[in-house]
């Protein structure tokens, strides 16, 4: 199966990072990445080229129904201009590309034939393969640079980061990423009114485990006092974790609404900052040895500004969010 997408084949384009909120860049720029600029015209011209390329894809590769769907996502409702979502997606790609370029320069890396070959193979399966030679060549070059950086980061024979990098990454993430486990128990019910009643009962002295056994709808732990064990951040849905993070050891929290229902949460111990000991240094080193770790660390030290005409930079999703909540550009799978 081949995949046609407006997104370039960048191996390092992930959806996570640690960064402050973005502000507006100059009127002629779509965004800036540290001191590097991304002109508005670069985004608009490339999107127009991609829209034009849709009509050049053979029918046996992109059937008419998929072609129409792709165009509806790439363009506005009148099919005349690029959509806000496609512009935001492409701008996200450009931002990551700038980070890649800056890192290649920092580590004195040069693209090699194997990188160009790998990128060419990727582009042949993307919409860029049907764009004009100018944009196709640029996409291949971008992918080749990303390939070179990926190989460098994943080289087990040469560690790229230093003790100073480990300490800096710890400083970036010690408040939210590098935390100890939280130990919790919960009572889950479908009705908010019932949840409030049970909360009052426990606060008045009722045994949490007894109340859980009699009322919780979570059969996996209701008979063990609602015990959820001790877990690192990321184990539970965001509303649940936010409530635990805001609590103190021994607190009863709730009702907390999630897609599962209403939770009463017994916080035995909440998340706490971990000291930068040898074990955590090793853990951080293992993260930095992966492309994802490099991206998180690099974004945490990068100043990104986005022109509000294109949207805003979301540091959690690691992407540009288009204005008015427009839907993202699609990836259309074809034969």
List, in order of start, the domains of the chain with CATH numbers: 2-154+291-334 (no CATH), 162-178+275-289 (no CATH), 182-269 (3.10.50.40)
pLDDT at 66: 83
Under DSSP, the state recorded for 229 is: E
Collapse the DSSP code of 269 into the 3-class scheme (helix H, G, I; strand E, B; otherwise coil) and give the result: strand
pLDDT value, residue 328: 40
The set of long-range contacts for 21-29, using a CB threshold of 8 Å and a minimum separation of 24, is 21/312, 21/313, 21/315, 22/304, 22/305, 22/306, 22/312, 22/313, 23/305, 23/306, 24/305, 24/306, 24/307, 24/308, 25/305, 25/306, 25/307, 26/307, 27/307, 29/307
Token pair in block for residue 170: 């710890």
Q: CA 65 to CA 51: how far, in whole Å? A: 15
- For every one of its 335 residues, what pLDDT tens digit does the chain have, with 9 covering 90 and above? 344 443 333 333 332 222 223 334 457 889 999 989 999 999 989 988 888 888 888 888 888 888 888 888 788 766 667 788 888 999 999 999 999 999 999 889 999 999 999 999 999 999 999 999 999 999 999 999 999 998 888 876 677 888 998 999 898 888 878 888 899 999 999 999 999 999 999 999 999 999 999 999 999 999 999 999 999 888 889 899 999 999 999 999 989 999 999 999 999 999 998 899 999 999 898 888 888 888 888 888 899 999 988 999 887 778 898 886 444 443 333 32
Determine if the pTM surpasses 0.75. no
Supply the pLDDT for residue 80.
64
Q: What is the pLDDT of residue 156?
A: 65
- Whole-number pLDDT of residue 9: 33
Question: Alpha-carbon distance 217 to 302, whole Å?
Answer: 45
Q: d(Cα 146, Cα 152) in Å, to the nearest integer?
A: 10
């Amino acid at each position: 199966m081949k995949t046609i997408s407006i997104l370039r084949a960048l191996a390092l384009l992930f959806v996570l990072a640690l960064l402050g909120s973005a502000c507006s860049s100059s009127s002629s720029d779509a965004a800036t990445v540290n001191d590097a600029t991304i002109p508005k015209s670069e985004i608009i011209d490339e999107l127009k080229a991609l829209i034009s390329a849709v009509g050049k894809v053979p029918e046996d590769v992109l059937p008419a129904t998929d072609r129409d769907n792709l165009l509806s996502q790439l363009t506005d409702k009148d099919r005349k201009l690029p959509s806000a979502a496609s512009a935001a997606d492409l701008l996200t790609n450009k931002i990551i590309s700038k980070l890649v370029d800056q890192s290649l320069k920092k580590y004195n890396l040069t693209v090699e034939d194997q990188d160009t070959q790998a990128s060419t193979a990727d582009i042949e399966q993307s919409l860029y393969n049907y764009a004009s030679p100018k944009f196709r060549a640029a996409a291949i070059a971008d992918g080749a640079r990303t390939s070179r950086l990926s190989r460098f980061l994943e080289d087990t024979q040469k560690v790229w980061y230093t003790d100073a990098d480990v300490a800096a990454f710890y400083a970036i993430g010690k408040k939210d990423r590098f935390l100890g486990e939280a130990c919790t128990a919960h009572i889950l019910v479908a009705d908010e009114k019932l949840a409030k009643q049970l909360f009052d009962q426990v606060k008045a002295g009722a045994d949490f485990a007894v109340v859980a056994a009699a009322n919780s709808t979570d059969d996996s732990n209701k008979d063990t006092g609602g015990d959820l064990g001790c877990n690192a951040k990321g184990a539970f849905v965001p509303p649940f974790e936010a409530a635990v993070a805001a609590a103190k050891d021994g607190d009863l929290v709730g009702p907390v609404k999630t897609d599962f229902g209403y939770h009463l949460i017994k916080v035995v111990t909440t998340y706490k900052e971990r000291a930068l000991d040898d074990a955590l240094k090793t853990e951080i080193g293992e993260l930095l040895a992966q492309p994802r770790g490099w991206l998180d660390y690099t974004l945490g030290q990068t100043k990104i500004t986005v022109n509000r005409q294109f949207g805003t930079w979301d540091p959690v999703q690691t992407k540009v969010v288009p204005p008015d909540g427009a839907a993202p550009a699609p990836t259309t799978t074809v034969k």
